[in-house]
Amino acid sequence: MATVYLIRHGQASFGKENYDVLSPRGWEQGKVLGRWMSDKITPAAIFGGDLQRHRETVEAIATGYGAQLPDMQVAPGFNEFDHISVVNQYRPEWRDRQVMARDLGAFPKPAKAFQEAFVSAVRRWASGEYDAEYPESWSAFKARVLLAFDSMIEYADGGDVLVATSGGPISVICQQLLSLDDERTLSLNEVIANTSVTRVLYSADRRSLSVFNNYSHLEAEEPALVTFR
């Protein structure tokens, strides 16, 4: 059987003007993963969404890998959902970044306060009760991720593949493989670490989850590199 390695992107730049770039820690996470992969994995193909943090994660992996890797093929179906839209529909006043910064700054741990709001916002979106308010519904998001996954496997034709993506798509793929309900799927998304590796074995139409959310490469080299946002 061949393997699909689903890789969550390195830490992005939370709180910065442009979130969609890797932080310095995110770059290091990718390099560590590349070093870990160098004597274990020889991918026949690499896929990723069209987000900058996906592309930069592949660049960081290639740096650590130290040998030629296939060029990344862009598949927008592996993009994360629009988290800005999801949060703004839950807290419309946060469209003003200064208001959001003020509100979060009132908490002892702003990052934790944002995470709690984010979880509530995602659950509102996934409930299906407010689909008309979002540019992409939860059900539409799941459908385009699974279509991208199926298309990628068809293209791979029995070869090992790396996919640089985000927590949402990884959770949706696991949902299909394990027949999870939406609540459990969203819970998975909350614990997927940056540059963690989730492995899916496949042969023809057979697909099985082999490993979920492995970030031992970070723990082995530098535990402080483990991040979830």
d(CA 135, CA 77): 15
How would residue 101 be classed by pLDDT, with cut points 50, 70 and 90?
A: confident
- Which residues 6+ apart lie within 8 Å of 51 measured at CB? 9, 20, 79, 80, 166
Alpha-carbon gap, residue 167 to 118, rounded angstroms:
14
Encoded tokens for 195: 């540059």
The residue-averaged pLDDT of 105-124 equals: 91
> Would you state the structure tokens that stand for residue 4, as one six-digit string?
């699909």
Query: In terms of DSSP bridges, do strands 72-74 and 45-48 run parallel, antiparallel, or are they unpaired?
Result: parallel
Q: Which residue has the tokens 């741990």?
A: 109
Q: Average per-residue pLDDT in the chain?
A: 94
**pLDDT tens-place string over residues 139-167:** 999 999 999 999 999 999 899 999 999 99
- Cβ(170)–Cβ(6) under 8 Å? yes
Q: Please tell me the distance from the alpha carbon of residue 115 to that of residue 229, in angstroms, as a whole number.
A: 9
Is 19's pLDDT higher than 80?
no
| Region of poorest pLDDT, from 47-61, 92-106, 148-162, 214-228 | 92-106
Two tokens at 91? Answer: 């807290």
Which domains, and CATH codes, for the chain? Answer: 2-81+145-225 (3.40.50.1240), 82-135 (no CATH)
Higher pLDDT, 104 or 149: 149
* pLDDT above 80: residue 13: no
Query: Residue 93 pLDDT > 70, yes or no?
Result: yes
Residue (of 145, 109, 126) closest to 183 by Cα position: 126
Q: Are 10 and 29 in contact, with CB atoms under 8 Å apart?
A: yes
Q: Confidence band (pLDDT; 50, 70, 90) for 99?
A: very high
Encoded tokens for 79: 């993009």
Predicted local confidence at residue 17, as pLDDT: 61
Which residues, other chains included, contact 161 with Cβ-Cβ below 8 Å and sequence gap of 6+?
2, 3, 4, 5, 43, 44, 45, 46, 47, 152, 153
Residue 205 has pLDDT above 90, yes or no: no
Confidence of residue 115 (pLDDT cuts 50, 70, 90): confident
The predicted pLDDT at position 40 comes to: 92
